[in-house]
Amino acid sequence: MKDTLQPGLAFQFKFTVPPTKTVPCLYPESEMFQQMPQVLATGYLVGLMEWACIEAIRPHLDWPREQSLGTHVNFSHLAATPPGFTITIDVRLDKVEGRKLSFTLTAHDGADKISEGTHERFVIDAARFNTKLEEKRRAGRGTA
């Protein structure tokens, strides 16, 4: 991590919602999801908030050797957003505690505040992480 990764870092991220990020697309194998409204899915919103944090800190990491993974999300989903709307996410880095990063985020779709909350991420060494993941695969601790 670079010395520039400091609390108070602010960043703004924009994303235009495509039809492929709506509730019916989240789990296409779910018949119930297929019957739901075509609005931004909460699952995609969580990913979008994570993406905004990654973009905010990437210049302050030795990317791609250093990366970050989300470890805690606490977001509301306050309003529905149809495809074609542009979401603006405001990111603020509140704390840097070793490799643990704590953020506050808000998101707006041009008509409504659609989300607010907090997020935690950990900075990882990608090679070390991938080595441990491969060891887990070889040990057969999963079913995939």
Cα 102 to Cα 47: distance, rounded to the nearest angstrom: 16
End-to-end CA, the chain: 33
The verdict on whether 50 is a catalytic residue reads yes
From the candidates 60, 66, 77, 81, which is the catalytic residue? 77
Residue 19: CB partners within 8 Å, gap ≥ 6?
25, 38, 83
Burial of 15 (0-12, 13-18, 19+ CB in 10 A): middle
Going by C-alpha positions, the residue among 144, 138, 98, 88 that lies closest to residue 121 is 98
Using an 8 Å Cβ cutoff, are 11 and 91 in contact?
A: yes
Query: Which one of 42, 88, 104, 118 is the catalytic residue?
Result: 42
- How many other C-beta atoms are found inside a 10 Å radius of the C-beta of residue 136? 11
Please list the active-site residues. Answer: 42, 50, 77
